[in-house]
């Protein structure tokens, strides 16, 4: 028994000495050209797959990924934040990414046979010992459009469909140089047909300025807009705010909502205020007055977008503006039905120049 213990102790010492030599003596070759030792890549990949499957959200947590605008919004984010490593449907990967270890797979390979919840977890958490970063925001709900896009790739999205989804319009004379990048999602005049994307043509310049800066510095939480805002300078953000703030609002409402009772209930709620919280219309319009230049005007805004924002305010997951605490207080007691009614009423109103 003593000899066994002595042998184990000797082996332990030898292990420590070998590890010390590898770490401090530089014996392990970290060259990407050399790659992993045989079998290591397979072990890491198996560990990765099992780890994802253990931690991925349940199927019950997956929203409607076929909803209008989901694939397009996800494709727009992918084009600006992910394509540089994973390429897009059709083209090959850039040469630089091919020589990374591990090499980021082409998007058509990366989507593999993963389920929606598993893809969400991978995008949210990233992957250690690879170039895959975690989501650049604490709020992860806006990962679902990216998942919707990835599932569309899984189903065989071709290069032309991807190109159509990520088309960048040509900017008119005098427009900011960075406008085409923003217009991919928001349109040249700030009015997208995607219900998940807010209209910018109805928003005051001052509000747009503070919002873009909040996205850029991370005080307003959105992985999609954090990446978008970081792709341009602060001066360019101000140019974009001035451009969209100067656009004439298209008078028509974005949504056609047939539920008249829901709209009528929203009208009542929007005009109610308390000693601590003013009525919605006093800050957000219509006819909010000149003092409300720091607030978003909501008449004609997308009902889908408004609904999501009110849920975020109620959950305390939205911020970025000077009156964030006021909005959290205003939303904290709203029921799901209240949120639906308010969103429907504002969305049904015709937009007007502010």
Q: How far are the Cα atoms of 77, 80, 128, 194, 227 from residue 181, in angstroms, in the given order?
A: 11, 8, 30, 16, 12
User: pLDDT > 90: what percent of the chain?
Assistant: 66
Q: How far are the Cα atoms of 41, 131, 209, 316 from residue 126, in angstroms, in the given order?
A: 17, 8, 31, 25
Give 179: exposed, middle or buried? Use CB within 10 Å, 0-12, 13-18, 19+. buried
pLDDT of res. 72: 97
CA atoms within 13 A on the CB side of 147: 27
pLDDT of res. 290: 60
pLDDT of res. 191: 92
- Identify the helix (H) or strand (E) that includes residue 318: none
User: Where is average pLDDT lowest: 6-10, 49-53, 99-103?
Assistant: 6-10
- Nearest C-alpha neighbor of 184 from the set 198, 205, 170: 170
Residue ranges of the chain that CATH labels 1.10.760.10: 179-245, 260-348
pLDDT of res. 268: 95
pLDDT of res. 259: 87
The CATH topology of domain 179-245 is: Cytochrome Bc1 Complex; Chain D, domain 2 (1.10.760)
Residue 96 has pLDDT above 90, yes or no: no
- The rounded distance, in Å, linking the Cα atoms of 33 and 140 is 35
Q: What is the CA radius of gyration of the chain?
A: 25
Q: Over range 106-114, report the average pLDDT.
A: 96
Give 228: exposed, middle or buried? Use CB within 10 Å, 0-12, 13-18, 19+. buried
Distance of CA 53 to the CA centre of its chain: 23
- Nearest C-alpha neighbor of 78 from the set 131, 141, 148: 148
User: Where is average pLDDT lowest: 119-123, 165-169, 278-282?
Assistant: 278-282
- pLDDT tens digits for range 143-160: 999 999 999 999 999 999
CB 188 within 8 A of CB 172: yes
Q: What backbone torsions phi and psi does residue 157 show, to the nearest 5 degrees?
A: -55, 135
- The rounded distance, in Å, linking the Cα atoms of 264 and 318 is 27
Q: Could you give the angle at which helices 303-315 and 336-348 cross, rounded to 10 degrees?
A: 140
Residue 237 has pLDDT above 70, yes or no: yes
| Class of domain 62-165 (CATH, top level) | mainly alpha
Residue 97 has pLDDT above 90, yes or no: no
- Nearest C-alpha neighbor of 306 from the set 203, 206, 230, 217: 203
Residue 131 has pLDDT above 80, yes or no: yes
Please, what is the Cα angle at 239 between 238 and 240, to 5 degrees? 90
pLDDT of res. 286: 86
Pick the CATH number of 260-348 from 2.40.50.100, 3.40.50.720, 3.40.50.460, 1.10.760.10: 1.10.760.10
Please, what is the Cα angle at 237 between 142 and 75, to 5 degrees? 35
- The rounded distance, in Å, linking the Cα atoms of 22 and 198 is 55
pLDDT of res. 354: 55
CB atoms within 10 A of CB 18: 12
User: Where is average pLDDT lowest: 234-243, 254-263, 334-343?
Assistant: 254-263
28 band by pLDDT with thresholds 50, 70 and 90: confident
Q: Could you tell me which residues come within 8 angstroms of residue 241 by beta carbon, excluding any fewer than 6 positions away?
A: 205, 208, 209, 212
- pLDDT tens digits for range 247-283: 998 876 556 667 899 999 999 999 998 888 889 998 8
Average confidence score pLDDT of the chain: 90
CB 101 within 8 A of CB 88: no
pLDDT of res. 25: 78
């Amino acid at each position: 028994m003593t000899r066994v213990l002595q042998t184990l102790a000797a082996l332990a010492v030898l292990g420590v000495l070998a590890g010390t030599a590898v770490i401090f003596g530089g014996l392990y070759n970290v060259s990407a050209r050399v790659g992993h030792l045989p079998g290591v890549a397979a072990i890491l990949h198996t560990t990765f797959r099992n780890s994802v499957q253990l931690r991925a959200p349940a199927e019950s947590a997956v929203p409607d990924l076929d909803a209008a605008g989901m694939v397009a919004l996800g494709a727009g984010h992918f084009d600006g934040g992910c394509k540089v490593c994973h390429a897009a449907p059709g083209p090959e990967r850039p040469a630089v990414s091919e020589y990374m270890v591990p090499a980021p797979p082409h998007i058509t390979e990366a989507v593999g046979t993963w389920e929606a919840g598993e893809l969400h977890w991978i995008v949210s958490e990233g992957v250690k010992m690879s170039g895959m970063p975690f989501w650049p925001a604490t709020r992860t709900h806006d990962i679902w459009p990216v998942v919707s896009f990835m599932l569309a790739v899984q189903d065989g999205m071709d290069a032309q469909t991807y190109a159509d989804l990520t088309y960048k319009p040509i900017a008119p004379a005098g427009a900011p140089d960075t406008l085409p990048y923003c217009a991919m999602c928001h349109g040249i005049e700030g009015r997208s047909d995607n219900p998940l994307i807010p209209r910018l043509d109805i928003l005051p310049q001052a509000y747009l300025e503070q919002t873009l800066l909040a996205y850029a510095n991370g005080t307003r939480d959105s992985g999609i807009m954090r990446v978008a805002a970081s792709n341009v300078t602060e001066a360019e953000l101000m140019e974009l705010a001035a451009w969209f703030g100067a656009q004439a609002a298209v008078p028509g409402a974005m949504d056609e909502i047939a539920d008249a009772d829901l709209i009528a209930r929203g009208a009542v709620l929007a005009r109610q205020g308390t000693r601590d919280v003013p009525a919605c219309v006093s800050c957000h319009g219509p006819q909010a007055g000149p003092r409300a230049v720091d607030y978003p005007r909501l008449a004609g805004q997308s009902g889908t977008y408004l609904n999501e924002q009110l849920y975020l305010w109620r959950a305390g997951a939205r911020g970025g503006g000077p009156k964030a605490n006021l909005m959290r207080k205003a939303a904290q007691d709203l029921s799901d039905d209240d949120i639906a009614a308010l969103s429907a009423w504002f969305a049904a109103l015709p937009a007007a120049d502010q």
